[in-house]
Amino acid sequence: MATHHPHDDTPDTELTFLRMARCPPGRERDLLFEELVEAWLPMANRLARRFRNKGENIQDLEQVAAIGLVKAVERYEPGRGAFEPYAVPTITGELRRHFRDHTWDVRVPRRVQDLRNKVRAARRELLDRSGGDGEPGVGELAAHTGLTCDEVRDGLEALESYSALSLDAETGATEDGYSLADTLGAAEAGYDLVADREAAKAGLRHLPERERTILYLRFFEDMTQARIAEVVGISQMHVSRLITRSCASVRAHAARPSRHGQVA
């Protein structure tokens, strides 16, 4: 049977806990509380260091562990067993909650976070077993974890959600690399159409009413030149000439600099 060997950071504070339990709220109890937290803080820091390879600052982890220690000291009841076996899961639980709730760049449901943890642990175990010879497949991970293939895929996708890539991050391998934002979306042709319509408004206002009517019937009502000629009461050839001349006038007006030095 394995023998438990206490760490150097597990002090004998049983009598202090008993004294605090008998103290009414007040200054003396507060001092005993601070004494207990200070005595067990090295153990909390040791537990925090177990999580140091997960990308978090060690000082931040030690603060989280200290919060878990404070909770453990507050809730511990002397006489129900040693403090260390009670405090360790309380502190590590606080650290795990910290990672679950505060360090994900892309927020995912807790169920998926749990799948991620299972898949991540299984992947590490299988890689260690194979000596790092090839990534385990979805089926292999499912068999090892007891999860379905779909659940494994969700866990693998969540592995990529732990940290997000900036849209300004360079993705090219050379000095001429491009950012992630450059690969997203496409130019919206509608913006150019809006700009063209705004530029044409001033030119249209300077046209005679008949020319404005002809352009409206041709480009907004989609009438043929022959039909416009019937409506307006002129020949089709005349309609064609007026459309050509009116369009040229509108373009010329739009190209003129405005009073503010910009194209109208």
Residue 34, domain member (yes or no): yes
CB 66 within 8 A of CB 98: no
For 81-95, what is each residue's pLDDT tens digit? Answer: 899 999 999 999 998
Asked if residue 130 and residue 74 are part of one domain, the reply reads no
Q: Please give the pLDDT value at position 115.
A: 83
**16 contacts: CB under 8 Å, gap ≥ 6:** 32, 35, 36, 39
Asked if residue 41 and residue 19 are part of one domain, the reply reads yes
Of 69, 102, 135, the last residue of a domain is 102
Residue 3 burial (CB count, 10 A) = 4
CB 147 within 8 A of CB 119: yes
DSSP state of 180: G
Number of alpha carbons in the 13 Å side-chain half-sphere of residue 226? 0
Residue 98, domain member (yes or no): yes
DSSP state of 262: S
Residue 118, domain member (yes or no): yes
Asked if residue 78 and residue 38 are part of one domain, the reply reads yes
CB 44 within 8 A of CB 66: yes
Phi, psi of 3 (to 5 degrees): -100, 135
Q: Is 212 exposed, middle or buried (0-12, 13-18, 19+ CB in 10 A)?
A: middle
Q: Please give the pLDDT value at position 250.
A: 83
Amino acid at 46: R
Residue 172, domain member (yes or no): no
Rounded to the nearest 5 percent, the helix, strand and coil shares of the chain are: 65, 0, 35
Residue 79, domain member (yes or no): yes
- For residue 40, the enclosing domain spans 14-102
Nearest to 74 by CA among 30, 12, 11: 30
CATH code at position 205: 1.10.10.10
Asked if residue 110 and residue 44 are part of one domain, the reply reads no
Asked if residue 89 and residue 31 are part of one domain, the reply reads yes
- 3-class state of residue 1 by DSSP: coil
Asked if residue 56 and residue 70 are part of one domain, the reply reads yes
**Longest pairwise C-alpha distance within the chain:** 112
Asked if residue 71 and residue 49 are part of one domain, the reply reads yes
Residue 2, domain member (yes or no): no
Question: What residues of the chain score a pLDDT lower than 50?
Answer: 1-5, 260-261, 263
Asked if residue 89 and residue 20 are part of one domain, the reply reads yes
The rounded Cα 3 to chain-centroid distance in angstroms is: 46
Q: Rounded to the nearest 10 degrees, how much is the dihedral formed by the CA atoms of 71, 72, 76, 82?
A: 180
- 3-class state of residue 257 by DSSP: strand
Asked if residue 29 and residue 95 are part of one domain, the reply reads yes
Asked if residue 23 and residue 87 are part of one domain, the reply reads yes
Number of domains in the chain: 3
Residue 43, domain member (yes or no): yes
Of 102, 134, 152, the last residue of a domain is 102
Measured distance CA(252)–CA(203) in Å, rounded: 8
CATH code at position 153: 1.10.10
Rg, Å, the chain Cα set: 37
Of 125, 145, 162, the last residue of a domain is 162
Residue 177, domain member (yes or no): no
